[in-house]
Structure 1
Amino acid sequence: MAHVTGDWHWAFRVTPCMGGVALVLLILLVPRRIQRRTEAHRALSIHGSIRVAAEKPGAQGAAKTSWCQDVTSLGKNWSFVWSSLGLTAMAFVTGALGLWVPMFLYRAQVALGIVQQCLEKSCNSSNSLIFGGITIGTGILGVIAGAEAARRLRKTNNRADPLICATSMFVSSLCLYIAIMVAQKNILSTFIFIAFGELFLSVNWAVVTDILLYVVTPRRQSTAIALQILVSHLLGDAGSPYLIGMISNAIQAKKDQSLQWSFCSLQYSFIICVFVGVFGGGFFLLTSFYIEEDRKEAEQL
C-alpha cells in the first residue's frame, strides 16, 4: 500500500473501508429471516430476559434479570472465566508477534550479516510482507483445523474443546520458543517455527467461541461476548507490544549499543510471550475441569 499510494498511512485507512464492505455484504446477503432472529435475540439479551416466541404457545419465559446480575452470574461461571483468560493470553501473544516479529527478524538478519543496517527513516524489508502472508495463511488453516478437530473429538470426549485449546497453546509456545532461539543461527528455520506457532495459536479462535456459546445461557451471551472481547483486548494485545518494547529497551540499556545486543534484548523480551502462552494453556486446562457441569447448567436454564 505504501508503494501504491506513496504514504504508509493508507495501510491503516483501508481497514475501515473493508469493514464497510463487510457491512454491505451482511445487509445484502444475510436473509431477512436470520436478521430478525438475531435482532430479537440481541434485544432479549440486553434486557436480561428470554421470552418464548409467539409460535411456541404454552411455553413460559425465563425470569428477568438485571445486567449486573448477569455479570455476577458470568463471574461465577468458571468455564467462561478461565476460557476468557486463555483467550486473553492468545491475544497477548498475537499482539506482540504482530508488531515485533518483523523488527525481530530484521535485527536477526543484521546480526547475522545477511542485510546491512538501515539508518534511514523508512527501510525496505520483505519481513513484514512475508510475516503478514504467514499470519493470513496460518490463520485460515488454523481456524479450519480447530473447528474440524473439535467436531470430531467431541463425539468421544465432552472436554475435547478446552483440551484442544490447551494442547495447541502448549505446542504454539514450544514452536515460538524454538523460533526465538534459532533466529541467531538460521532465519529460514525461524520463519518455519513462527508459522507453526501461529498455526497452533489460530486453532483456538473458533473453539473458544464455541465454548462460550454452550456454557453461557442465550440471554447472557451478548454480555459474555462483550466482556470477553473487552478483557482479551484490554489485558492482551492492547498492552503486549508496549510491554515487550519497554522490556527490550530496559535490557538494551544495560550494555553499550551494538547490533548483537540490540537483537538479544528483543530476543530476551520475547520469552515473555512463551510464558504467557503456557499460562494460557493452563487456563484452558482449568476450563476442562468445569466445562461439563457448566454446560449442563446452561442447558437447563
Structure 2
Amino acid sequence: MIGGLIVWLVTAAGSSLVTESHFWLLMLLRGMVGIGEASYSTIAPTIIADLFVGTKRSMIICIFYIFIPVGSGLGYITGAGVASLTGDWRWALRITPILGVVGLFLLVFLCPNPPRGAAETHGEGVSGQSSYLEDVKCLLKNKTYLWSTLGVTATAFLSGALAFWMPTFLSRAQVSQGLRPACVEEPCDSTDSYIFGAVTVLTGILGGILGSGLSRWLREKFPKSDPLICASGLLGAAPCLFITIFVASTNIPATYVFIFFGEILISLNWAVMADILLYVVIPTRRSTAEALQISVGHLLGDAGSPFLVGAISDALSKSKPVSPEWSFHSLKYSLLVCPVVGILGGLFFFLSSLYVIGDRKAAAQLVEGGPREPQDPSSEPPIELSNGDKTNHEDNLSQRI
C-alpha cells in the first residue's frame, strides 16, 4: 500500500508539470496514477477485514467507502476552485499529492499489518498457500462473487458517467434555456461543478450511512438482505436518473433534486457490496478477489462509460446541424444508457442474493472448520489447509451445499 500510494502521488504531481507538446506523457502519467491507486485499494479493505468482524466490520467498511463519493465530490469543488483561483488547471492536479503526503505519513507509522483472517480466528490467522490460478478458479465458482462483481461494474458505470458528464449536461441545459450564454470551453460556469460536487459529497455520506445501517439492521432477520439492498439501490436510482435527464430541459432546481435522490440510492451500495465480498471469500483470497473486481469494475464501468456516453452523443449530434440546443439534446439522449445499466445492475445483485447464504457459510467453514458465521468466531483453532486440501475441501463443501 505504501508503494502504491507513492506511485499515486508522484505520478499525479508529475502530470501537472507536462507541457502541451508532450500530451502523450500526460496520458501515460494519468494512467500510472490508476496503477498506484489500484495497488492501494485492493489491499486496504482486506486489512480492515483482518482487523474487524461482524457489525463492527460493516461500520468501518462504511466509513472507508463513504470517502469514495466524498473524495469525488471534493475533487470537483477543490479542483474548480483552485483552477479558478490560480488561472491554471494544472494546480487542480497538485491538490491530491499535497493531501496524500499526510495519508502516506499515517500509513507508514500507524497502519497495522495483521495476519490474514485475524479477526475471525482470535488473532491466529489463516495459513495455507495457493497459487494465483487456483485462487481465480475458486473465485469463478463463487456465484455470489461473480454476480456481485457485475453489480459493482454497473455501479461504477453510473458513477463514472455521471461524474464526467453531469456538470457539462447541466451547463448545456441552461444554455439551451437561454439562462446562460454559449461558450467555447465546457462547462461554461464552474458553478455547476461546485453544486454537483457538494451534492456528491452529501449524498455519499448519507447514502453510505443509510446503506450500512440497513445492512446491520436487516442482516440477522434476512440473510439475503445485503445484495437485495444493493439491488434496490440501483433499481431505485434508474427512474430518478430517467427523470433527471428529461426534467433538465425545463427546470434546473428540480433536476438537482432528482440527482440528489439518484446519487443517494447509488451510494447505498458502496459499503454493502464491499462487505459482501469480504464475507463470501476466505481471507487468503480476498486481495485477489478485490483486485479482479476492481479491474473488471473499472475496465467495463467508469473507465468506459464516459467514452460510451460521449460517443453516442457525438453520433447523434451529427444527424442535425450544430446548435446549442441540439448539443444539449444529443447528450440528453445518450445519457439514457445510465438508467438501463442501473436496471441491469439491480438484476445482477438480485441474482447474487440467490447464492449469498450458501457462499457465506462455505467461506465461514473454511476459516473456522465448522458451519459458523464469520461474525461469531468460535474458540476452536483455525484449520490449516494445503493447496490441494483447500481446493478439494471447498469443492466438496460447495457440492454438499
Shorter-chain TM-score above 0.5: yes
Cα distance, 1:168–1:120 mapped onto 2, change above 3 Å: closer
CA contact (8 A) 2:153 2:300 kept: yes
Q: Which residue of 1 aligns with 2:196?
A: 131
Task: Give deviations 1:254-282, integer Å, cap 9, x for gaps.
Answer: 11112221111000000001111111001
> Structure 1: 5+ residue runs without aligned partners?
45-51
- Stretch moving more, 110-119 or 85-94: 110-119
Q: CA deviation at 1:120?
A: 5.7
Is 1:36 equivalent to 2:97 in the alignment?
A: no
Q: Which amino acid aligns with 2:233?
A: S
Distance 1:67 1:112 in 2: 56
Q: Which residue of 2 aligns with 1:266?
A: 331
Distance 1:5 1:121 in 2: 18
Is 1:82 equivalent to 2:147 in the alignment?
A: yes
Q: Which residue of 2 aligns with 1:95?
A: 160
Q: Which residue of 2 aligns with 1:24?
A: 105
Q: Which amino acid aligns with 1:147?
A: S
Task: Give deviations 1:181-200, integer Å, cap 9, x for gaps.
Answer: 11101011101101111111
Cα distance, 1:2–1:157 mapped onto 2, change above 3 Å: same
Q: TM-score, normalised by structure 1?
A: 0.89
Distance 1:120 1:286 in 2: 44
Secondary structure, counterpart of 2:338 in structure 1: helix
Aligned residues, how many?
A: 283
Match of 2:255 among 170, 173, 190: 190
For the aligned residue pairs, the C-alpha RMSD in angstroms reads: 2.1
Q: CA deviation at 1:121?
A: 7.8
Cα distance, 1:122–1:160 mapped onto 2, change above 3 Å: closer
CA contact (8 A) 2:167 2:187 kept: no
Q: CA deviation at 1:250?
A: 0.3
Q: Which residue of 2 aligns with 1:244?
A: 309
Distance 1:201 1:122 in 2: 24
- Stretch moving more, 15-24 or 223-232: 15-24
> Structure 2: 5+ residue runs without aligned partners?
1-81, 367-401
% same residue: 50
User: Relative contact order, CA 8 A, sep 6+: which one is greater?
Assistant: 1
Q: Which residue of 1 aligns with 2:91?
A: 10
Q: TM-score, normalised by structure 2?
A: 0.67
Q: Which residue of 2 aligns with 1:216?
A: 281
Matches within 5 A, 1:288-299: 288-299=353-364
Is 1:116 equivalent to 2:181 in the alignment?
A: yes
- Stretch moving more, 117-126 or 198-207: 117-126
Distance 2:190 2:132 in 1: 49
Q: Which residue of 2 aligns with 1:172?
A: 237
